[in-house]
């Protein structure tokens, strides 16, 4: 089934740990995004990609990095997690074109850094 | 770059009344304007969208209007029901452009009073 998937759904880790949040989509979308969102609050864009080997930083300063080696996969890595990184991380994807530009969101990863 | 302003940030209406959320955008080249609804604990989901070649679009109790000259668009919900309580996000993008990202407004928390 065409969808966008994120793993893990929940993660509790200690300060200083390196983590990777996984995101995959099976819709063949060229664009992918990572957002940070506290519950019910604004969507803060932290990274986006227009296609394979294309990544850009978003509006929110972040200590994370991303890669886009395959169209369907857009992982987010935190080299050294801190309590300030505690939040929900939403991955999304969309298609460029004259029609069908809907952005689809994944279920999110809720990260807690102790 | 594109900037999207959304008002109000919170809105409380009596069940059965109408609710209106307004957004303005800055980039006159934007041509795709979606609205997302995010229920508590869930991912944002598209509820309606409009393109710049259309002035109004309706889907049952929800409608969106677009004024390209003034660069603003609005979401109208009629006969509100308890299940309409959620956070709503407007957005703007140049859907046809491979180098364009979607820009979200800051969100409106809508509460329906019984």
pLDDT of residue A37: 96
For residues B15-34, average pLDDT: 95
Q: Are B21 and B12 in contact (CB under 8 A)?
A: no
Residues in B closer than 8 angstroms to A56, CB to CB, are: 101
For residues A39-65, average pLDDT: 90
Q: Taking a contact as any Cβ pair under 8 Å apart, which residues of chain A between 31 and 90 contact chain B?
A: 31, 33, 39-43, 45, 48, 50-51, 56, 90
For residues A57-75, average pLDDT: 91
Q: Are A55 and A73 in contact (CB under 8 A)?
A: no
pLDDT of residue A98: 67
pLDDT of residue A2: 74
Q: What is the dihedral of CA A78, A84, A90, A95, to 10 degrees?
A: -70
pLDDT for B55 beyond 80 = yes
Residues in B closer than 8 angstroms to A106, CB to CB, are: 43
Q: What distance in Å separates the CA atoms of residue A70 and residue B86, rounded to the nearest whole number? A: 35
Among left, alpha and beta (phi > 0; psi -120 to 50; other), residue A84 is alpha
Alpha carbon B107 to its chain centroid, in Å, reads 9
Q: Are B43 and A107 a contacting pair at CB < 8 A?
A: yes
pLDDT for B88 beyond 70 = yes
The fraction of chain B above a pLDDT of 90, given in percent, is 84
Residues in A closer than 8 angstroms to B45, CB to CB, are: 105
pLDDT for A4 beyond 90 = yes
For residues A68-83, average pLDDT: 96
Q: Is B99 exposed, middle or buried (0-12, 13-18, 19+ CB in 10 A)?
A: exposed
> Following DSSP, what letter does each residue of B86-106 receive, concatenated?
EEEEEEEB-TT-TT---EE--
The number of helices, as runs of H, and strands, as runs of E, in chain A is 0, 11
pLDDT for A107 beyond 70 = yes
pLDDT of residue B100: 79
Whole-angstrom CA distances from A55 to A20, A48, A104, B97 are 16, 6, 18, 16
Nearest to B44 among A98, A101, A105 (CB): A105
For residues B36-56, average pLDDT: 94
For residues B92-114, average pLDDT: 89
Instruction: Say yes or no: A13 contacts chain B, CB-CB below 8 A.
Output: no
Q: Burial letters for A77-112: b for 16+ Cβ neighbours within 10 Å, e otherwise?
A: ebeebeeebebbbbbbbbbbeeeebbbbbbbbbbbe
């Amino acid at each position: 089934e065409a969808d966008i998937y994120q793993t893990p759904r929940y993660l509790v880790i200690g300060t200083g740990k390196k983590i990777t949040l996984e995101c995959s989509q099976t819709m063949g979308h060229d664009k992918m995004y990572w957002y940070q969102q506290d519950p019910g609050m604004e969507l803060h864009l932290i990274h986006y990609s227009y296609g394979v080997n294309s990544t850009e930083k978003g509006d929110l300063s972040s200590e994370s990095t991303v890669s886009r080696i395959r169209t369907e996969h857009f992982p987010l890595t935190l080299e050294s997690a801190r309590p300030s990184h505690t939040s929900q991380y939403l991955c999304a994807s969309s298609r460029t074109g004259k029609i069908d530009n809907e952005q689809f969101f994944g279920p999110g990863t809720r990260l807690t850094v102790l | 770059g594109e900037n999207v302003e959304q008002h109000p940030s919170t809105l409380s209406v009596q069940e059965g009344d109408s609710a209106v959320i307004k957004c303005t955008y800055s980039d006159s080249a934007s041509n795709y304007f979606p609205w997302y609804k995010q229920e508590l604990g869930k991912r944002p989901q598209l509820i309606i969208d409009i393109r710049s070649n259309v002035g109004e679009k309706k889907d049952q109790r929800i409608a969106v209007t677009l004024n390209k000259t003034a660069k603003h668009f609005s979401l109208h919900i009629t006969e509100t029901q308890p299940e309409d309580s959620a956070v709503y996000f407007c957005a703007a993008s140049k859907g046809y452009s491979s180098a364009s990202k979607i820009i979200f407004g800051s969100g409106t928390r809508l509460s329906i009073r019984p």
